[in-house]
Structure 1
């Protein structure tokens, strides 16, 4: 199974030099009063929180989170979409997001402690339950901001759970990118491509016979094109969380679909902007 820790080990702060977007601003020249255009460089920062508490002698709780901060993004609807999983944020500054994480942590601890105490009798040995949410910047290319959201939790049982969400944001047009903005390929044809390409990225899972293919662990007949996609200069990638299309042992599965495979169905504006031949 894939190593969850490797997914969580993301950098705290992304250097300004790694981001290329600039936002235009108008300023006034002191000498002439003439308006001149200046630029504000796109920057990314982050806030983190890790804390724990004890419910009783057998149960402890741990909370971990990391959120990216985008000081130069001012459009509220775009920010609401970026933090879609964190309802109620009104202050998108670094301090505002740190305050939100503290509140979210307190609510998580309280929600477990306030449960009906009868469930505590089922705990026979010391346990540590946890919840985690982590944002990772995948790329910012051609004004397409790509973010990966990772979630994890454990509340007893044989193993914890984790999952992923991928989102792409068009900084130029201030909106989330949907699949229809990229390709018009019919659903059935895209499903066929996903099925054909499912083993292109090895699962990393092994058994007594050696490596196990993703296709050998499928739980469904047809692989849907989900909303968890991202892209680079070669492929469009669809990301599936454990249990979404395959057994938990398969871990998360990423299926690439090349731009060549999508030839003739790509949105002309997207194709030009990504410089796809």
Structure 2
């Protein structure tokens, strides 16, 4: 993205043991972006491990962003929905409590799984989830949600998702806010052409599993491009990894909404 906003000094809650967690001292930095109103960003990081069986250790790690200056409840509900967190008040303390609860639930889930399967040799299972402010420009806030984990089997899992929030309207951006007809057949050609063009020597084209690439809701944009992210197995084999398709806005201007063109000064 053209305008990448550095995170403020991160406020971490490092959990060394299940019952010995203490927050570090607070230090929240105020950030001003593109002459917009003062914007504050903070975060909570929870990391812990537990030996649940003689041969199994499970590790939990989660990072959650905190937005002290965002007050709209509907907007905050949308921001934290991908983390499966819904609160009446998204304060740092409440978000820390929610993250601790998820840690406990993860431990209990893994303990329960041992009823059906016990590892024959020592191994570690884990779940990691991250939340980053990908960009903030023109009052559009883009948040990246990533995660990975392993609970036995041939390989682990990974996901990478994006959501764009309009801080002027306190709404989540939908495809219909950007393009006039998301159902138009021309998008299949646009996506396929740009997928092939973007591939270079990555070899993802060779692992394509579909004849046509559909639009999805995992998108973000900057001043010059519209990006669509497809996770593993969505359109390609697991080995291909996530696929990012970059489309120049100049090439699709006739398909964009008037409001989006005006907002982005295209």
What TM-score does the superposition give when structure 2 sets the normalisation length? 0.84
**SS in structure 1 of the partner of residue 217 of structure 2:** coil
Distance 2:114 2:43 in 1: 36
1:18 positional shift = 5.6
Distance 2:51 2:71 in 1: 40
Match of 2:90 among 81, 89, 92: 92
Comparing 226-235 with 156-165, greater Cα deviation is found at 156-165
1:103 positional shift = 0.8
1:219 lines up with 2:215 in the alignment: no
Corresponding residue number in structure 2 for 1:16:
30
Question: Does the 8 A contact of 1:19 with 1:43 survive in 2?
Answer: no
Distance 1:233 1:145, change over 3 A: same
Question: Does the 8 A contact of 2:140 with 2:164 survive in 1?
Answer: yes
1:271 positional shift = 1.1
Corresponding residue number in structure 2 for 1:102:
100
Distance 1:49 1:201, change over 3 A: farther
Distance 1:11 1:217, change over 3 A: farther
Corresponding residue number in structure 2 for 1:233:
223
Aligned length: 241
Corresponding residue number in structure 1 for 2:185:
188
Distance 1:195 1:273 in 2: 27
Structure 1 unmatched runs, 5+:
1-9, 24-40, 204-210
1:11 positional shift = 8.2
**SS in structure 1 of the partner of residue 57 of structure 2:** strand
Corresponding residue number in structure 1 for 2:18:
none
Match of 2:44 among 44, 47, 54: 47
Distance 1:263 1:163, change over 3 A: same
Larger radius of gyration: 1
1:57 lines up with 2:71 in the alignment: no
RMSD of aligned C-alpha atoms?
2.0
Distance 1:106 1:42 in 2: 32
Question: Does the 8 A contact of 2:8 with 2:42 survive in 1?
Answer: no
Distance 1:135 1:240, change over 3 A: same
